């Protein structure tokens, strides 16, 4: 089970420092098996990866060791923080920054070569969803086919674009049927993302073929994120 928080372009370095310290303390007093916990702050708020209960990762990275890539972060800068976990292909990067399949493939291949854990995000738009389940499956299959789906440190996050930040997650039926389809394409753990909160995490984490959640808005408040982690712990005890 994996509980991941994507802070996007929120929280300052000082806020993330306090968040990480408090999260570590909360988890110190926790009994039971913890899920794999990840947080993904923005670049300016990356911290040394020294927390025993969770890992800090990056939301994106350029596929190079270092070099002339203005505005990007590369392998050596991540390595300095001890970062080995990366989100790639988030729909906000695909849509706002025009990241295409070719660039994503390059990023994937580069960081897979360096053994990174990669949360690879896929997900359809509202118009694809409205065209029917077959169209959704075809769309997602193309996105998955872009990368090496048998990569051992791959985690796939299914994040329907229409559910992200909307306050309304996909329905349990939609998540279950989409994840069941994705499980035929890859053996990677499958996360659901898109308006996951402390109120719907329990029912989402209980679904077949859901190995965890990628949480945006609700990860920004430590209380909400901790409650989602609690839900994961309870689920692991079942």
Q: If DSSP codes are grouped into helix, strand and coil, which group holds residue 156? A: strand
Binding status of residue 60 toward ligand PGA by CB under 6 A: no
Options 41, 89, 160, 217; binder of ligand PGA; rule CB under 6 A: 217
Binding status of residue 175 toward ligand PGA by CB under 6 A: no
Q: How far is CA 160 from CA 5, 12, 92, 149, 177, in A?
A: 17, 27, 11, 19, 13
DSSP code per residue over 73-106: --HHHHHHTT--EEEE--HHHHHHS---HHHHHH
Options 1, 6, 108, 200; binder of ligand PGA; rule CB under 6 A: 6
90 included as an active-site residue: yes
159 included as an active-site residue: yes
Binding status of residue 89 toward ligand PGA by CB under 6 A: no
| Burial (Cβ within 10 Å: 0-12, 13-18, ≥19) of residue 226 | middle
The Cα 232–Cα 128 span in angstroms is 31
Give least dist CB 193 to ligand PGA, A: 4
Q: Which is nearer to ligand PGA, 63 or 193 (CB)?
A: 193
Q: Which is nearer to ligand PGA, 99 or 159 (CB)?
A: 159
Binding status of residue 200 toward ligand PGA by CB under 6 A: no
Options 3, 45, 164, 170; binder of ligand PGA; rule CB under 6 A: 164
b/e burial code for range 99-120 (CB count within 10 A of at least 16 → b)? beeebbbebbebbbeeebbbbb
Q: Which residue is nearest to ligand PGA (CB)?
A: 216
Q: How far is CA 151 from CA 3, 58, 114, 145, 225, in A?
A: 20, 19, 12, 12, 28
Give least dist CB 188 to ligand PGA, A: 17
Binding status of residue 5 toward ligand PGA by CB under 6 A: no
Options 57, 63, 216, 232; binder of ligand PGA; rule CB under 6 A: 216
Annotated catalytic residues are 90, 159
**Chain contacts with ligand PGA (rule: CB under 6 A):** 6, 159, 164-165, 193-196, 214-218
């Amino acid at each position: 089970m994996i509980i991941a928080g994507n802070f996007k372009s929120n929280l300052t370095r000082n806020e993330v420092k306090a968040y990480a310290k408090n999260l570590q303390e909360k988890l110190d007093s926790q009994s039971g098996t913890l899920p794999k916990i990840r947080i993904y702050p923005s670049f300016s708020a990356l911290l040394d990866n020294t927390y025993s209960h969770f890992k800090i990762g990056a939301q994106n990275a350029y596929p190079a060791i270092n070099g002339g890539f203005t505005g990007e972060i590369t392998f050596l800068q991540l390595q300095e923080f001890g970062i080995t976990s990366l989100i790639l292909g988030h729909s906000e990067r695909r849509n706002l920054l025009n990241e295409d399949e070719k660039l994503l493939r390059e990023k994937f291949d580069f960081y897979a070569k360096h053994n990174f854990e990669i949360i690879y995000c896929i997900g359809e738009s509202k118009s694809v969803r409205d065209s029917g389940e077959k169209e959704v499956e075809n769309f997602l299959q193309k996105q998955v086919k872009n990368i090496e789906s048998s990569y051992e440190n791959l985690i796939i996050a299914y994040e329907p674009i229409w559910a992200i930040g909307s306050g309304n997650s996909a329905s349990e039926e939609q998540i279950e049927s989409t994840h069941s389809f994705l499980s035929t394409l890859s053996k990677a753990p499958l996360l659901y993302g898109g308006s996951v909160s402390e109120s719907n995490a329990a029912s989402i984490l209980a679904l077949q073929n859901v190995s965890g959640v990628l949480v945006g808005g609700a990860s920004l408040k430590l209380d909400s994120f901790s409650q989602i982690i609690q839900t994961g712990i309870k689920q692991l005890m079942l």
